[in-house]
Amino acid sequence: MNQDTRLQFFQCHRAANAPQSLPPDAGILGMSSLQQPATSHAWPVQQVRVPLLGSSAPQLHEYWFSAASCRRGRVGDVHFSASDELLFGVIELPETHGSDTGTALQLAAERAYRQLFSLLEAEGFPHLWRVWNYVPRINEIEHGLERYRQFNIGRHEAFADFARPVNSSPAACALGVVDGPLSIAFLAARQAPLCIENPRQTSAFSYPRQYGPRSPTFTRAAVAHSGGLPILFISGTASIIGHDTVHIGDVVAQTRETVANIGVLVEQANLAAPGSGFTLAELDYRVYIRHAADYPAVRNTLQQLLGPDIRAVYVQADVCRSDLLVEIEAHGLPQQP
């Protein structure tokens, strides 16, 4: 296998005036820019408008790249970049109008996912590995339905129209931002990932109706292979057992339960992809905290459970159930040279 084409990850805290060592431009699939919007680039950028916690840097940039060079394009509202093996894209859509068939957010979600799936079909990258969804005012109730649930209806509709089976959904996250457009970034490939579910949790695509008229379409984790090496994507994970939120009001207990859920996903991933040897201590984490004041408690709990040297980025964001105080996502790549 050609290790030079494998997916790689690079994180860079933008300090004012600090010299930066960046991955080579040609190999950059895409980037997410946390906190402050980045200037425009040849590659797709997802602006994640969430405050960083515990960092004085104005921005944090996270790059997905490969040593192989990428070709870039725009189709409709999608900006994408592709290597032979992988495609990364970003689509941002405003909520323009509702209709008899749905709210403005529902229809924006449906349009975004339709564009995304059309592009993947046209470019020949049928398999979604990971999707990052940022939904403005995610917990607000509008037209009698929480906005996250409206988003789920539109997303589900597009999955159905493109005959995408929900039980082979991508790893994903869905978080709330204060404002801005609906923003979706995605990583897709020619090869299918292994979908991993959590035996302690009801699969999200089978959530009962009490969580909304249409279920979310994501898998709890996915293991993919790139350049012959395994990659683990852990979806946004929270303090949910079965389908119930547990430890309501207790951010430390929610953090512990979330880590227990991630621990089970790592075990399941190692069973599904024998020899990959993922460990909790070696993942890269992104931690979403609803109330910024909970940051020290969440950080201390994670450091106790995972060690003082874990790689974690902490941000303030709304989580998609109003009783969840924290959500944690992660990925694991083989150690980079």
Of 80 and 186, the one with the shorter C-beta distance to ligand 3EB is 186
Please report the beta strands in 21-180, taking only residues with DSSP state E, as ranges in sequence order. 28-35, 45-48, 59-65, 71-75, 78-82, 86-93, 127-136, 141-142, 145-146, 171-177
In whole angstroms, what is the distance from residue 198 CA to residue 167 CA? 13
Told to check if 174 binds ligand 3EB by CB under 6 A, we report: yes
Q: From the CB of 205, what's the least distance to ligand 3EB, in Å?
A: 10
Select the residue interacting with ligand 3EB from 78, 93, 182, 204 (CB under 6 A): 204
Backbone angles phi, psi at 163, to 5 degrees: 50, 40
User: Other CB atoms closer than 10 Å to residue 163's CB: what's the count?
Assistant: 7
Token pair for 72: 């870039």
What does the buried/exposed string (b/e) look like for 180-210 if buried means 16 or more CB atoms within 10 Å of the residue's CB? ebbbbbbbbbeeebbbbbbeebbbbbebeee
Told to check if 112 binds ligand 3EB by CB under 6 A, we report: no
Q: Residues in contact with ligand 3EB, total (CB under 6 A)?
A: 12
Q: Tell which positions 208-237 bind ligand 3EB, by CB under 6 A.
A: 216, 218, 235-236
Please indicate whether residue 327 is annotated as part of the active site.
yes
Q: From the CB of 185, what's the least distance to ligand 3EB, in Å?
A: 12
Q: From the CB of 174, what's the least distance to ligand 3EB, in Å?
A: 4
Q: From the CB of 147, what's the least distance to ligand 3EB, in Å?
A: 12
Q: Tell which positions 237-266 bind ligand 3EB, by CB under 6 A.
A: 238, 240
Told to check if 129 binds ligand 3EB by CB under 6 A, we report: no
Long-range contacts formed by 70-79: CB under 8 A, 24+ apart: 70/26, 70/27, 70/28, 70/29, 70/43, 72/42, 72/43, 72/44, 75/115, 75/118, 75/119, 75/122, 76/115, 76/118, 76/119, 77/112, 77/115, 78/115, 78/116, 78/119, 79/44, 79/45
Q: Tell which positions 298-337 bind ligand 3EB, by CB under 6 A.
A: 320
Told to check if 132 binds ligand 3EB by CB under 6 A, we report: no
Catalytic residue, chosen from 157, 197, 327, 329, is 327
Told to check if 172 binds ligand 3EB by CB under 6 A, we report: yes
Q: Tell which positions 44-83 bind ligand 3EB, by CB under 6 A.
A: none
Of 28 and 289, the one with the shorter C-beta distance to ligand 3EB is 289
The catalytic site residues sit at 327
Residues near ligand 3EB, by CB under 6 A: 133, 172-174, 204, 216, 218, 235-236, 238, 240, 320
